Amino acid sequence: MQIILPLLVGGILFSSTAVASDSLAEAAKKAVNCSNISDADARLACFDAASKRLSALLAPEMVAKPAETPVKPTTPVKPAPARTETVAAKPDVKKKAESIEEETLPTWASGPRHTEEERKQDSDDFTATIVRITSNNLGRHRFYTEDGAVWEQTQLVKVRKPRSLPAVAEFRRKMTGNPVISFENSGRSYRVRRIK
10-residue mean pLDDT profile of the chain (196 residues): values are 62 54 77 84 87 76 63 70 61 57 58 61 76 91 92 89 87 85 84 89
Residue that is last in its domain, among 14, 35, 58: 58
Residue 109 is assigned to a structural domain of this protein: no
Look at residue 66 and tell me if it is in a domain: no
On whether the pTM is more than 0.85, the answer is no
43 Cβ contact list (under 8 Å, min separation 6): 34, 35, 37
By CB neighbour count within 10 A (0-12 exposed, 13-18 middle, 19+ buried), where does 183 fall? Answer: buried
**What is the span of the domain harbouring residue 148?**
117-194
Asked if residue 64 belongs to a domain, the reply is no
Say how far residue 56 (Cα) sits from the centre of its chain: 48
Q: Is 74 domain-assigned?
A: no
CA 108 – CA 75 distance, rounded (Å): 40
**121 in the same domain as 52:** no
Q: Report the number of distinct structural domains present in the chain.
A: 2
